[in-house]
Structure 1
Amino acid sequence: MCVHLWYMALILLQVTQQHNEDCKRLLRLMDVPVVEAPSEAQAQCAALCKAGKVYAVASEDMDSLTSGAPIFLRHLMDPISRKVPVMEFEISKIPDNWPYSEARLLFKGPIVSTEEQPEIKWTAPNEEGLISFLGNENGFNIDRVTNVWLLPSVMCWR
């Protein structure tokens, strides 16, 4: 019975295109830069990391390493209850005498198409848009939104 309930919960919790659009809209209202990859997201993240626009790429699989991510984080989003430490991999620390030359070449010099890098910049949020989106459109308590979400300690741009 427990497996059946878990499976039903999994079916009910599918992420939809609307969820993605709402997340992107919320981030843009908060003026958090949103980058949409033209094809493979992990390759785009690796390119941003190589360009120094982000510190690292976080993922649960190692695909971004094959795209040339110089720093890779694993288990970043694991629940704290699992007590799994975040693992950080740095490609520059692969020793030159590592015996697996093909794999080393793949990690240190992957062949990846380099798309033009998007500009990432932060500015002030759209506070009226945030209140409208969270309160009017999504049913959040407007007082909580204005008193908590827009606190100077939460919103670092104030």
Structure 2
Amino acid sequence: MALWQIFRFRVIYPIVLFLFFFIDGNLKSSLSPILTHFPFNVLPMLTLIWLFYAVQFETAMKVSYWVYVAVIGILFDIYYTGIFGTYTVAFLASTVVMFQLRSFFDERLMSGLLLFLIGSTVYLLVTYMAGFIINIANLSFVTFMVYEFLPTVLLNLIIAALGYYPTWSLFQVLP
């Protein structure tokens, strides 16, 4: 394995991760008339998708994965919400669940999407529960499931499916 391949992977992964961090917020703000059209509220989760790809394609061992997960969670809390801990716990919980369940799934698309569905469910439920506890989410659980959870999961499953094979081929080329 050449030194340039290792350097390339350790540079590409965090750059794309932080790029998706900013694209998430940009999509949410620039497409807000579409994504938050009453009564629906759809959240793009490109950062979580990128973290999922690292778990799915077993590249989390090649980078400082858990440091990136914690840093991204802290940045989400500071930059987007101002409430420290919500997204840090959500990112850590969802990636831990995906990491622990990864051994039960293979690299096929449908298996990967099921793993991402489980991880995104944990992510959304943690953020909902945190919002409910600190009294900023005043929706019932059924309303949350119908108007936020289902559209968000549907959009992000489509995005994850579209990027699945290109990311898989990128991670196969990289050591």
TM-score (norm 1): 0.30
Larger Rg: 1
Larger relative strand fraction = 1
TM-score (norm 2): 0.28
